[in-house]
Amino acid sequence: MFTNENRVNLRFEQEPEEEFNEKLEAAEAYRERSEIFLKYNYLIDSMENPTHNLTEEIKDRIMNFVLGHPFKLGPLRDPIAFLTVPAHIRFNSKYYLIPKLIDVPSKTVVERFKKKNYNLELLNNLVEEIGKEFVRANHQIEFDATLPYSGTSSVKKEVL
């Protein structure tokens, strides 16, 4: 942690001392928060636990999205017909969240990118970066679950 002895703090003659001291306190609080933030990011970035990766299907969806091929989540549900559907299907979210491709392209991604004069290398870099962020997000979720204030931790929360 930084202390005032390590920093040069200049106060102008016209600046009120109270205002100067408030700025010093705010700067110290921001330094402490920044230090915590940097440590938190370092811990997450240094995690090497195995985690899920993006599937090829998800990568293909990203490429189709870049190419402008839209997806839909399915038709609107009729509430009366919806109630007649068995509960194991009605409350299974995967039936409604899996997108269906509206326009199934016949060409490969590479051919479609060449036709539109898109840079395939940039797309590959984008997909790779999204994959890294996905892994980092999984590590962040895993790390946050170990913190004492996490809803999944075994630490009891006191009610004030």
Residue 158: pLDDT band by 50, 70, 90 thresholds?
A: very low
Q: Are residues 38 and 63 in the same domain?
A: no
Judged against a pLDDT cut of 90, whether residue 38 lies above it is answered with yes
Q: Are residues 60 and 41 in the same domain?
A: no
Q: Are residues 19 and 72 in the same domain?
A: no
In-domain check, residue 150: no
Selected residue with higher pLDDT from 158 and 61: 61
Structural domains of the chain, count: 2
Query: Which pLDDT score is estimated for 42?
Result: 95
In-domain check, residue 105: yes
Judged against a pLDDT cut of 50, whether residue 154 lies above it is answered with no
In-domain check, residue 92: yes
In-domain check, residue 114: yes
Q: Are residues 29 and 108 in the same domain?
A: no
Q: Are residues 126 and 82 in the same domain?
A: yes
Q: Are residues 76 and 140 in the same domain?
A: yes
Mean pLDDT of all residues belonging to the chain: 76
Judged against a pLDDT cut of 70, whether residue 94 lies above it is answered with no
Judged against a pLDDT cut of 70, whether residue 96 lies above it is answered with no
Q: Are residues 69 and 125 in the same domain?
A: yes
Q: Are residues 91 and 19 in the same domain?
A: no
Domain that holds residue 66: 56-145
DSSP collapsed to 3 states, the chain: CCCHHHCCCCCCCCCCHHHHHHHHHHHHHHHHHHHHHHHHHHHHHCCCCCCCCCCHHHHHHHHHHHHCCCEECCCCCCHHHHHHCCHHHHCCCHHHHCCEECCCCCCCHHHHHHHCCCCHHHHHHHHHHHHHHHHHHHHHHHHHHCCCCCCCCCCCCCCC
Query: Which pLDDT score is estimated for 156?
Result: 45
Q: Are residues 112 and 69 in the same domain?
A: yes
In-domain check, residue 153: no
Query: Which pLDDT score is estimated for 151?
Result: 62
Residues 77-89 pLDDT 10s: 667 776 777 777 7
Q: Are residues 64 and 99 in the same domain?
A: yes
Q: Are residues 18 and 79 in the same domain?
A: no
Q: Are residues 22 and 78 in the same domain?
A: no
Residue 152: pLDDT band by 50, 70, 90 thresholds?
A: low
Residues 15-33 pLDDT 10s: 888 888 898 899 899 999 9
